[in-house]
Structure 1
Amino acid sequence: MAGLIVAVTSPSARVSLTDLMTASLGLDVWEVEPDHLVVQADEAQIGRLEAMGYGIEQLQMIDPYLSRFATDAAVSGYHTVATLEQDLRGLAEAHPELAELREIGRSVEGRPLWALRIGERRGSTRKIAFLGCHHAREWISVEVPYLLAEHLLLNSSADPVQGWLQQSEVWVAPMVNPDGHEYTQTPAHRLWRKNRRRNHDGSFGVDPNRNYGYMWGTLNGSTSSHVASDDTYVGPRAFSEPEVRAVRDLVAGQQFTGVLTYHSYSQLILYPWGYTSESIKDASDLRALRELAEEMERQIAKVHHKTYTAKQSSKLYPTAGDTADWTYGEYDAVSLTVELRPATWEEGGFILPADQIRPCWEENRPAALEFLQRVLEQPQDGVRGDG
């Protein structure tokens, strides 16, 4: 795979890193720090950055990075499309009184999208969704929601889980982008991000987490692009992708009071908005979301002493058409995005070593349970939303 991992710095106030993320350069932004960005770029992109006045430090070529992290051992412990379906079926069959496996849609290439409904009663007004793997290369984002579903079922006879499942429903869809995930099974394609839509220009893929309808298409830069070949291509229109429509229809049908979406990497807990640097206008909503994110940050740190940082999504970088903006903006749902391990590309970046699956889940378990408790036990009106 061609390309380089580079650090981009700004030598003067005339060329800001913020401007770089909103420029249409097709960069694959991996990390955002106050004084530099880590991006994957090719030689032509690097030449453009240098011509614009940015400083470039080569960190590693992509091929050695893949050789180091995308090993056979790195695959073990992670689900494939097939083994995820098998294990979700196993959970449903082992707990028929509580769990039901639902096909919520089909992907571009015809693969089913699975959601596990967990709860004693149907039609509850309290429902939460946990979503994973909008982005193909983020394998750990499949494992954490899957392990959460397993945990809820294994602990369904003890409080607080028993009480939650008696009064509410939890829906877990660990793999929103099965085509992309399947495509990443070979090292050459391990860093693929999008789905596998064939675009009008012959390129492939739409970024599912830029294809939701709230404020869709209002940005055009490296982190939300209208160029089909870019990694963050927003698609030809909102909800153009069947995977995203499947989530849309699930949310519309179930009217979730909370939605938590898992991604990787960077160890962050993000709350809306992503499309604007302005804060949520409703002060009580903003306070509730920020306090929940900060409490989840504290809960995570207690387990393995890992630092996850709570912040507004756009303070990482601007995104339009993402899941959390949409579920909060359209449905007033308590909406957060968790960026899982690791913190940096040197620790694996998008290719988290398999021996970290379990500790990553262990530290995120109390945070997920905090999310469940806050949403399921909050006053019925919950957050109200700006739009």
Structure 2
Amino acid sequence: MASVIVRVTSTSARSPLARLVAIPLGLDLWELHPDHAVLQADEAQASRLEAMGYAVEQLRLSESYLTDFATESAVTGYHSAQTLEEDLRQLADDNPEIAELHEIGHSVEGRPILALRLGERRGSSRKVAFLGCHHAREWISVEVPFLLAEDLVANASADPVREWLQRGEIWVAPMVNPDGHEFTRTPGNRLWRKNRRRNRDGTVGVDLNRNYGYMWGTLDIDTSSHTPADETYVGPRAFSEPESRAVRDLVARQAFGGVLTYHSYSQLILYPWGYTDEPIVDETDHREMRDLAGDMQRLIAGVHGETYTAQQSSRLYPTAGDTTDWTYGEYDVPSFTVELRPASALEGGFILPAGQIQPCWEENRPAAHAFIGHVLEKPA
């Protein structure tokens, strides 16, 4: 059955847009705005939505979207799992005094999950982590953390980077989901989201960013689903997947003072909570993350004029079992999700043209540096 990318609106109080999340249709929700949503659906799902009182406008056939954006030239400049490993190993080999490459785990299909540790001394109590590519189709979420690692190595002899590397450790894991990422590089699979777990019912994949332990499974909606075929399947239990366990174990060992994870798309800076609309109870923590998100928003805008909106995660849509809820809920450290370029599906959505890799990185550089400084320079 052909899939379509549609814009959904509603003028009926009986069919509010917020209800889209709770409808058990297995929708692949891409954007949720106050006045419209953008999602990928098959024809039967689109017809169901119309029958429920929603206005459904077809924006593109998924096939034509892929034809326009997933071109051969769009692949150039993005890493595969293999080329990422080669480049990370080269960074470590060329800079042994400050860089070490660690295998923090292996994927379902046996690929290494890699993290680069940057710092002059081991065992520092000041540590910060950057993660990328929980979701396979979000290729730009690999490139920004990799370019961050490259940038830190290149500027290791100049402050503030020199001071950070003398004071603490910066860990960068650009590709948490190597199996899914490799699958998106095969014909017809560019929009795959999950890992490559074979589920008991014959379907494939768990959403790694719904598989973390804090409040795992407390929602059963389209954005945190208990149905294995759905894009946001939470898995059979918390930390059921080797990829999420690799991150769990790294965080437990290193006791990071802050964690930032990159996703795409929508140009957002998100902080907990995702599982509830209620704000963080601890006012000091809430103010810290709200203010830092606002600072990062301003720093990003100051580079190329792009607007990234800072907000609580659940304002986008509710999720349970995501990375930042877990790192804050379990470890009480500043935790952020940055949704990178572009702002909308019409600008490429998950398939960001390769020519935008560099400007996307450039605008996120000062925000990443601000986060590092906030964590590593915090008074003891």
When normalised by structure 2's length, the TM-score is: 0.99
Matched to 2:299, the amino acid is: Q
In structure 1, runs of 5+ residues without a counterpart are 381-387
| Structure 2 counterpart of 1:193 | 193
- CA deviations on 1:190-228 (whole Å, 9 max, x unpaired) are 000000000011000000000000000001111000000
Letter paired with 2:176 = V
Quote the residue 1:277 is aligned against.
277
Are 2:159 and 1:153 equivalent residues in the alignment? Answer: no
1:166 aligns with 2:166: yes
Question: 1:9 offset after TM fit, Å?
Answer: 0.9
Q: Which residue of 2 aligns with 1:372?
A: 372
3-state SS of 1:238 partner = coil
For 2:77 and 2:112, how far apart are their aligned partners in 1? 22
Amino acid at match of 2:330: E
Opposite residue 45 of structure 2, the aligned amino acid is Q
Whole-Å Cα distance in 1 between the matches of residues 134 and 322 of structure 2? 10
Distance across 2 between alignment mates of 1:268 and 1:322 = 16
Task: State the alpha-carbon separation in 2 of the partners of residues 320 and 166 from structure 1.
Answer: 37
Cross-structure match for 1:87: 87
Q: Provide the residue aligned with 1:384 in structure 2.
A: none
Provide the C-alpha distance between the structure 2 equivalents of 1:108 and 1:139, rounded to a whole number of angstroms.
19
Contact kept, 8 Å, 1:25 with 1:221, in 2: the verdict is no
Whether contact under 8 Å (2:2, 2:43) holds in the other structure is: no
Unaligned regions of 5+ residues in structure 2, if any?
A: none
**RMSD, aligned α-carbons:** 0.8
Equivalent residue runs for 1:200-279 within 5 Å: 200-279=200-279
CA contact (8 A) 1:66 1:187 kept: no
Give, in angstroms, the shift of residue 187 of structure 1: 4.0
SS across alignment from 1:188: coil
Q: Within 2, Cα distance between the matches of 1:99 and 1:368?
A: 18
1:89 alignment partner AA: R
Q: What is the letter of the counterpart of residue 45 of structure 1?
A: Q
Residue 335 of structure 1: CA displacement?
A: 0.2
Alignment of 1:311-326 (within 5 A): 311-326=311-326
Deviation at 1:169, TM superposition (A): 0.3
CA contact (8 A) 2:269 2:310 kept: yes
CA distance in 1, matches of 2:33, 2:187: 28
- 1:134 pairs with 2:130: no
Structure 2 CA distance, aligned partners of 1:248 and 1:23? Answer: 31
User: Any idea what the Cα deviations from partners look like across 1:291-323, whole Å, max 9, x if unmatched?
Assistant: 000100000001110000000000000000000
For the residue of structure 2 that corresponds to 1:273, the secondary structure is: coil
2:23 matched residue in structure 1: 23
Report runs of 4+ in structure 1 exceeding 2 Å deviation.
none
**8 A Cα contact 2:118 2:165, kept in partner:** yes
2:53 aligns to what?
Answer: 53
For residues 366 and 300 of structure 2, the distance between their equivalents in structure 1, rounded to whole angstroms, comes to: 7
- Structure 1 residue 374, shift from structure 2 partner: 1.0
Look up the SS of the partner of 1:321 in the other structure.
coil
Cα separation, 2, equivalents of 1:237 and 1:301 = 40
Letter in 2 for 1:244: S
Asked if 1 retains the 8 angstrom alpha-carbon contact of 2:131 and 2:145, the reply is: yes
Deviation sequence 1:336-382 (CA, Å, 0-9, x none): 000000001111000000000000000000000010111111233xx
Q: Whole-Å Cα distance in 2 between the matches of residues 107 and 144 of structure 1?
A: 21
Name the residue aligned to 1:114: 114
Deviations 1:122-170 (A, max 9, x none): 1111100000000000000000000000011110010000000001000
TM-superposed CA distance for 1:2, in Å, is 2.9
CA distance in 1, matches of 2:150, 2:59: 39
Structure 1 residue 22 displacement after superposition: 2.1
Alignment partner of 1:100 is 2:85: no
In 2, are the aligned partners of 1:270 and 1:338 still within 8 Å (CA)? Answer: yes
How far did 1:23 drift? 2.3
Structure 1 partner of 2:363? 363
Residue type of the partner of 1:184?
T
**How many equivalent pairs are there?**
380
Q: Distance in 1 between matches of 2:32 and 2:378?
A: 34
SS at match of 2:288: helix
Quick one: distance in 1 between partners of 2:202 and 2:87? 36
